[in-house]
Structures are given as C-alpha cells and as structure tokens.
Chain A
C-alpha cells in the first residue's frame, strides 16, 4: 500500500517497495532494447567500434586456442623428441621382434615405432646431400631404429627409462638429446607467458576502448544527465543506460571476434594439417564449438559491462546540474 505524505491536500504519492521494484525492472527491460536502437542510429560508428573490439578480442583467443591445441597430449609427438634406440640386429629378426614386444609391454613407454633399415634409407635419401653419400655404399649402412616415446615428460624419468632399455638385448646404442628437450620446454614456457601477457593486455585494451567510447557518449548527453539529476535521478539511474550500451558494444565485439576467429581457423586449417601430416601426426585445427562460442560472446559482454562500470561511473558522478 502506498503512504501519503501529510501536507494538506496536495499529496505526493510515495511508492511502495513493490512499485519501485517493478519500476526498476521496467527500466531495465526498456533499456535493453532502447540502448541497442540508440547505438544502431550511428551504425557506421558502431560497426567501427565493433570491429576494433573484435580484433582486440580475437588475437588473444586465437593464441589461446593455438596453445591449448599444441598442449594436448596426443599432439605432443610433433614436438617431443623420441628416445632413439639403434639396433644391432636386423629389423625382421627374432631378437628385434622380441625387443619390440618387451618394450611395448613396459608401462613407462607410450609408443614404440620400428623404422626398418629400408625405411631409414628412404628417409635419409629424401634429404638433399645424403643421396650421393649413400650411393657410395654398396650396401645399406643404416641400422634399424626404434623410436620410443615415454609416458612421462620429466627428464629424470626419461633418463631412468633410457638406462632400463640399455640393459636389454639387441641394442647397439641409445641416444636422447636431453638438452634439446630442456630448451624446447623453455621455449614453450616463454611462448605461453607471452601469450598470457599479450592476452591480458588486449583484454585491458577492450575494456579501455569501451570505456572511452562511452565517455564520449556521456559528453554528448551531458545536458540530459544534468536535467535528470536536477529532477532527482540517482547516479545509478543515470548510469544504467550506459551499462547497457557497454553490454551491447562488448557483445557485438564478441560476435565480430567470433567471425574473425572462425575465418582465420578455416583459412589456416589446410596448411596446418599438411604440415602436421608431414610429421606423421593427425593434428587438426578445430573451429570453435558451441560452448566456446557462447563463452566468447559472454566474455565480450562481460568486458563491456566491466568497461562501462569502471570508467563511466567516475565521469558520471562528476556531472552535476548547473
């Protein structure tokens, strides 16, 4: 029930909490659509802002996708070196076959690939320069090789495994370039950190772009804000349309980013797959799935809201009726 203020006959109706809640909901509902149509009135400016936000969002996301897909276990073989086990017996012999099955049964070993002398010769021949050298031999000088990939990626575990293998029969020598492995790990870590740092910077950039765009809008609507405050509008009331604008700017930017990312992934997918296959890998670039796409839009919208709250509030509070 509403109360009436006792000032004689001219009563100002004081609204109940329920009325005010309804009004708040009504304001939000109305703003959801009206802010978008207000933005669309200057559709060229809007498109530009959306494109800029899209670019700023798509770069870190693309890098994140790249990192994630490289990091996945199945694809490690592209960049992870194997332990090379040079055999003393031919690849078809019983000793070698027995060795291969023993190794395959070991739990520390993930994969054992046998490269026969003939295959080794073929591979070497493909590399320029070696063809002439090999031709000088009347027989194939190359031994059979086993490429052993361990489950663990830790240096200590791999060294232990190497010693264990070395004790078996049918082996001429083993090589594992630990230093190379360390270097690779460091490089990967650096790339990961650069990606994260750039990602954070770009996301901050998005927040700042949106904040800046909104500040310009506020300047253009200064008179309106002054009048609303004169008539008793709160800071929250005044800020609400700008938060919705931020939401739409971020959402549209997210959509643009989605388009850019999907296009980039499609554009890159063929050459990447070709390269992967040359490493005998079945690595493939995957386009963004449904959940990931939603997450991207949510990220854009979220950044938009953050951008509007962070930079706009201070500016709005400063504007007072005059």
Chain B
C-alpha cells in the first residue's frame, strides 16, 4: 500500500530531513512511527501524501509513484488517504457536520449518503450529539476527534495520523486507539506517528523508528 524506497529529503537549508528511508506497508498493516521531535516523522507523512516530493528515492502509494505523478492527479490520490494532523485543520466557518462531510462532498457522494456516513463517523468517535455545533465551541480533544471522524468518513485504504491522541486523556486515547485497530482489522493500512511510548507498549504492532531522519532499530 505504501512503500518508501531509499528516500532522501533535503530541504533548501541543506538539512537532511530523511535519509535512506526504506519500508513497505501491506494493506491492513498497523504501524507505529516513533522517534524524537525533529526525527522526520512529519516529513515522512508529508511525502506520503505528496505534500512534498522526495529529493531522491521513490515513494509509492497504492502502486503510484508519487515523484512521477503529475500535479493534476494528486487530488485523486489524496482521496485515498485519511489524514489526521496535530493541528486538526478544521474549518471554523462551518458546523461539525459540514467539516466531517467535506471529503464526501468533494468526492461527490449524494446528500443522503453523506448524512448517514457522517453520522456513523461521528458516533464512532463519540460525538454524535455535537453534529450541529461549531468547532470553536468544542474542546481541544473534541476538535481532535472531529478531525479523526473526517479522516475516516470516506473509508480510505490508508490512514495516516500524526499524534492523534495528543489532546486526549488516557481513557479517550485508548478508545481512539482501539478504533484505529478496528480499522486495521477491516483492511485499512494504518500508520500512527506518536511520542507516547506507553501507548506503543500497550498495543502489539510493528514499529518504525526514526532518528535524525534515518530508520533505526528502536
């Protein structure tokens, strides 16, 4: 599903954000992406959704080589991925419902389907009663969960999450983690970047550990 082959990413400042990164995720695999701050976890995720292009090496998403992909095909590719970033990326000028519905509207699903799917996604993250609320009225944790709902509402084959439990208390974190595990069991490829080593220890899963841009043994 997602393959990195000898990927290097160097920024204009001369910094090597990633060096010789190689790994491959099969469909349905559940992987933790760990490493200290600045190790390159966010960069790796950005490369996976073509937000950046690698300086060297290949990134393959569902068989497509991202480096060779023309710009106009990127939106189609992004619709296959659900992303949960740390800063939620919610739109504050619309309701929770409309925020979660966004990927479905972009894809063009009929309104009746959008309604049922959004409600299903919101109930999965425990926010069914917040459907009509505005993001500004929600707590940090609730906003995080809306972001997660939006990332899964269109059932993408790949789910990337950057510190998805950062704003959540331990109990909620565990609930969200089990949700991700459920997805993985249904065949979704899940990669979670996290600092939270307690969480990593609790859940039996593969680990991809980055240190200064390189893949090392944890």
Residues of A bordering B, CB below 8 Å: 5, 7-13, 15, 19-20, 22-24, 26-27, 223-224, 226-235, 237, 320-322
Contact = CB atoms under 8 A, between A and B. Distances in A.
B109 A23 contact: yes
Contact of A320 (B51, B105, B107): B51
B27 interface: yes
Interface string B172-203: 00000000000101111000000000000000
Contact of B107 (A9, A15, A226, A235): A15
Contacts of B72: 234-235
A15 B109 contact: yes
A223 B91 contact: yes
A320 B76 CA distance: 15
A231 B150 contact: yes
B51 A7 contact: no
A22 B108 contact: yes
Interface string B135-164: 000000000000000100011110000000
Nearest to A8: B187
Contacts of A223: 91
B109 to A, nearest CB: 7
Nearest to B183: A10
Interface size class of B (residues with CB under 8 A): 35 or more
B93 interface: yes
B28 A8 contact: yes
Interface stretch (B11-19, B31-39, B77-85, B208-216): B77-85
Nearest to B94: A224
A322 B86 CA distance: 12
Nearest to B154: A12
Contacts of B25: none
A241 to B, nearest CB: 13
Contacts of B108: 15, 19-20, 22-24, 27
